[in-house]
């Protein structure tokens, strides 16, 4: 159904998708970079880090080569017997261990006979207290090398790795990292960029294409175009707004067609209503001009011409007022006025002709002011029109009543005890030129009075309704109170 919220079509937010895609791209790029760095370090000749650390070599005299360099880095060398007991220490030992287990040695990175490291991924960290400073903890890397009758253990502080790596990286010799490997890394990064771009493009371009296609269909004149979006929240909301727009355009077009037919009907009615009095005026004028009217009939002819001219004048004034009320640019001259006083004055003006027509005129108007914001001339015209209709169309009744009351708003009622207005007329009585067929010729109404009344009340943010209540015709006006 059109106008539904469409929340079941939501697939998250496009903003969230963009952020998620960016995060995914970043993570993938980081993973590729780290993996490349790992491969770079792994397949370098001996490893960059360990290239910078001296291995363990024995001189011909049995002394340890590079011992001074090991000590300068804060390390030391331990000599183990075949039972893994510490028998001798070169340098300043920072740990308390006097022996080791085979399991501990298995997990430690081993030096080969040429002093280079192997088993890179299996080095163990031994955490010990720094006895020289008595605070914090110092991590050491242990490396072992087999000797005749036992083992050598070399200890390096972990901090020395960072220092040597950062300060002496120019000493690293990389021989196995080829251009092909670098090209592969570059290809993976490019693939990542294209993959994320394709994903985002797919999530954004498809709903945009659907929206553009819908706009082109509307542009080509197709009506009630409806989009069905099953995507992110923003596009679903755009689709719903588009559907509301096309529905409103359809309703507006239907309303314009209805108004066009109404205006056409109004012009036909107007031409008919003007034609009759104008024809009468023309006939009387011709008869007078040709001297065909006896002297005793002259006054009657002149009176007929005056009545028909007044009829045309009233019709033109009503039509002008109606067109003015329908204009969106026209605004009534609103001011604070006492509706009780205005109603009382209008009742005084109409009292004589209502009483002369044989009706009992009952008036209920409060003595206190009933203030509203309104155009005095327009409101006076509406009230006068309702009183005129009550007198003109009440053939069998004898009562006309007007009541003004104030509650949450202001209500003015005009009632009569005449026959009920025909059902077919009730539905359209507030349209222009709506009258019963027998009213057209016998009562002389223009058929614009109630249409004008409705338009005037709408300009005042009020309203007018008709009810058949208690055997009486009741017209009720509603206005906002400012008391």
pLDDT tens for residues 235-292?
788 888 888 888 888 888 887 887 777 777 767 777 777 888 888 899 999 988 888 8
Domain ranges of the chain: 55-164, 233-326, 335-479
d(CA 70, CA 125): 18
Which DSSP category does 22 fall into?
H
| C-beta of residue 374 within 8 angstroms of C-beta of residue 348 | no
Among 216-230, 355-369, 373-387, where is mean pLDDT lowest?
216-230
Does the CA dihedral 113-116-122-125 come out positive or negative?
Answer: positive
Distance CA 37, CA 432 (A): 85
In this prediction, residue 163 carries a pLDDT of 40
147 close to 88: Cβ distance less than 8 angstroms: no
- What are the phi and psi torsion angles at 349 (to 5°)? -70, -35
Highest mean pLDDT among 171-180, 362-371, 437-446: 362-371
Question: Could you read off the pLDDT of 103-137 as tens digits, one per residue?
Answer: 776 655 444 444 344 333 333 333 333 333 444 55
Cβ–Cβ under 8 Å, residues 141 and 158: yes
Task: State which H helix or E strand residue 156 sits in.
Answer: strand 150-157
* pLDDT, tens only, 53-109: 555 666 666 667 777 888 888 888 888 888 889 898 888 888 888 888 877 766 554
Q: Which two tokens stand for residue 464?
A: 């007018």
Distance CA 98, CA 135 (A): 22
What tokens appear for 20 in the block?
A: 């998620």
* 437 pLDDT above the threshold of 60: no
CA distances from 363 to 335, 340, 355, 405, 463 (A): 25, 11, 13, 12, 22
**Contact at 8 Å (CB) between 343 and 379?**
no
Q: CB under 8 Å to 90, separation ≥6 — which residues? A: 64, 67, 70, 71, 76, 77, 78, 79
| Higher-scoring residue by pLDDT: 293, 49 | 293
User: Rounded to the nearest 5 degrees, what angle is found at the Cα of 419, between the Cα atoms of 414 and 420?
Assistant: 75
Q: What is the mean pLDDT of residues 318-325?
A: 82
CATH class of 335-479: alpha beta
Angle ∠(302,308,314) on CA atoms, nearest 5: 135
3-class secondary structure, 174: coil
Percent of the chain with pLDDT over 70: 73
Q: Any residues with CB less than 8 A from the CB of 93 and at least 6 apart, and which?
A: 76, 78, 155
What are the beta bridge partners of residue 145?
A: 152
Higher per-residue pLDDT: 180 or 26: 26
- CATH no. of 55-164: 3.30.450
Contact criterion met (CB below 8 Å) for 399 and 362: yes
CATH class of 233-326: mainly alpha
Whole-angstrom distance, CA of residue 59 vs CA of residue 61: 5
CA distance 205 to 232: 12
* DSSP classification of residue 66: T
Q: Is the pLDDT of residue 3 over 50?
A: no
Indicate if the pLDDT at residue 379 is higher than 90: yes
Q: What are residue 414's DSSP bridge partners?
A: 402, 475
What count of other Cβ atoms lies within 10 Å of the Cβ of residue 249? Answer: 14
Is it the case that residue 466 has pLDDT exceeding 80?
Answer: yes
């Amino acid at each position: 159904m059109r106008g539904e919220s469409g929340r079941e079509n939501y697939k998250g937010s496009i903003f969230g998708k963009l952020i998620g895609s960016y995060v995914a791209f970043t993570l993938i790029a980081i993973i590729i970079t780290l993996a490349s760095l790992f491969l770079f370090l792994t397949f370098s000749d001996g490893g960059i880090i360990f290239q910078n650390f001296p291995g363990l070599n024995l001189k011909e005299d049995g002394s340890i080569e590079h011992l001074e360099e090991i000590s300068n880095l804060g390390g030391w060398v331990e000599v183990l017997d075949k039972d893994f007991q510490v028998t001798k220490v070169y340098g300043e030992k920072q740990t308390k261990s006097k022996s080791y287990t085979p399991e501990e040695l298995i997990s430690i990175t081993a030096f080969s006979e040429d002093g280079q490291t192997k088993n890179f991924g299996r080095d163990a960290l031994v955490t010990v207290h720094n006895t020289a400073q008595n605070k914090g903890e110092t991590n050491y890397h242990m490396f072992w090398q087999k000797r005749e009758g036992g083992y050598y253990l070399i200890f390096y502080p972990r901090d020395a790795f960072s220092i040597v790596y950062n300060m002496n990286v120019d000493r690293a010799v990389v021989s196995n990292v080829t251009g092909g490997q670098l090209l592969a890394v570059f290809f993976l990064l490019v693939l990542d960029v294209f993959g994320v771009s394709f994903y985002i493009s797919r999530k954004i371009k498809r709903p945009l294409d659907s929206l553009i296609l819908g706009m082109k269909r509307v542009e080509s004149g197709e009506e009630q175009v409806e989009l069905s979006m099953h995507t992110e929240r923003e596009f679903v909301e755009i689709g719903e707004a588009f559907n509301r727009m096309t529905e409103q355009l359809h309703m507006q077009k239907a309303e314009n067609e209805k108004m066009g037919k109404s205006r056409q009907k109004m012009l036909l009615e107007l031409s008919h209503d003007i034609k009759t009095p104008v024809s009468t005026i023309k006939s009387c004028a011709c008869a007078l001009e040709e001297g065909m009217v006896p002297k005793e009939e002259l006054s009657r002819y002149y009176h007929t011409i005056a009545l028909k001219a007044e009829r045309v004048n009233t019709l033109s004034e009503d039509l002008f007022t109606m067109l003015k009320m329908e204009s969106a640019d026209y605004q009534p001259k609103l001011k604070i006025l006492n509706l009780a006083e205005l109603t009382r004055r209008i009742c005084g003006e109409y009292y004589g002709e209502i009483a002369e027509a044989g009706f009992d005129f009952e008036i209920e108007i409060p003595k206190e002011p009933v203030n509203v914001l309104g155009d005095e001339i327009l409101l006076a015209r509406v009230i006068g029109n309702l009183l005129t209709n009550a007198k003109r169309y009440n053939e069998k009744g004898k009562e006309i009543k007007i009541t003004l009351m104030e509650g949450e708003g202001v209500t003015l009622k005009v009632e009569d005890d005449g026959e009920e207005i025909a059902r077919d007329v009730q539905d359209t009585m507030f349209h222009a030129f709506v009258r019963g067929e027998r009213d057209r010729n016998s009562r002389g109404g223009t058929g614009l009075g109630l249409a004008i009344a409705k338009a005037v009340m709408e300009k005042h943010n009020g309203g007018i309704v008709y009810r058949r209540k208690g055997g009486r015709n009741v017209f009720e006006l509603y206005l906002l109170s400012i008391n």
